Amino acid sequence: MAQTSSALACDVRRVHPDAVEAARARLTERAGALDGARALFAALGDPTRLRLLAALQGGPLCTCDLAATLGVTESAVSHQLRGLRALRLVASDRDGRVVYHRLDDAHVGALLDVAAEHVAEAGE
């Protein structure tokens, strides 16, 4: 059920200094992690990168297979994979002249699963 803006605002304007101080301290302590999370969510916010990761949830695919699956060029796939590898979302392994790509670890698949579950809950 959607909340109205009045349901999200306090009826009484009162700042709780201890709560504000604690929240600011948490933000300061987690600044580096939050920057990393921002980059991760930015990567997941791109439709092509998100589809690429979802395709890799089924198992490793080579660059050609990813391009065919997504309906984009191999160059576009390679470009997207560079950024995903930099964020440690995707890992690549060479088998002779073919490069296979896979999700870097179980956390990546779990992120996609949790996001899909959250979206499904919103539709209920």
Do 110 and 82 share a structural domain? yes
Model confidence at 100, pLDDT cuts 50, 70, 90, reads very high
Half-sphere exposure of 28 (CA within 13 A, CB side): 6
Asked if residue 92 and residue 35 are part of one domain, the reply reads no
Mean pLDDT of 8-28: 92
Q: Are residues 39 and 95 in the same domain?
A: no
Q: Give the residues across from 99 on adjacent strands.
A: 94
- Indicate if the pLDDT at residue 2 is higher than 70: no
User: In the predicted model, what is the mean pLDDT of residues 4-21?
Assistant: 86
Give the residue with greater pLDDT, 31 vs 1.
31
Same structural domain for residues 77 and 118? yes
Tell me, what CATH number does 78's domain have?
A: 1.10.10.10
40 plus 52 within the same structural domain: no
Can you tell me the distance from the alpha carbon of 67 to that of 51, in angstroms, rounded to the nearest whole number? 11
Q: Which structural domain, as residue segments, surrounds residue 27?
A: 15-45
- Statement to judge: residues 52 and 32 lie in one domain: no
The percent of residues in the chain predicted with pLDDT above 90, rounded, is 87
The 10 Å Cβ neighbour count of residue 88 is 13
Q: Is residue 2 part of a domain?
A: no
* Residue-level pLDDT at 4: 63
- C-alpha 59/C-alpha 39 separation (Å) is 24
Q: Model pTM?
A: 0.80
d(CA 4, CA 15): 22
Predicted pLDDT at 58: 96
Domain count, the chain: 2
Cα separation, 56 vs 47, in Å, equals 14
pLDDT tens across 32-75, in order?
Answer: 999 999 999 999 999 999 999 999 999 999 999 999 999 999 99
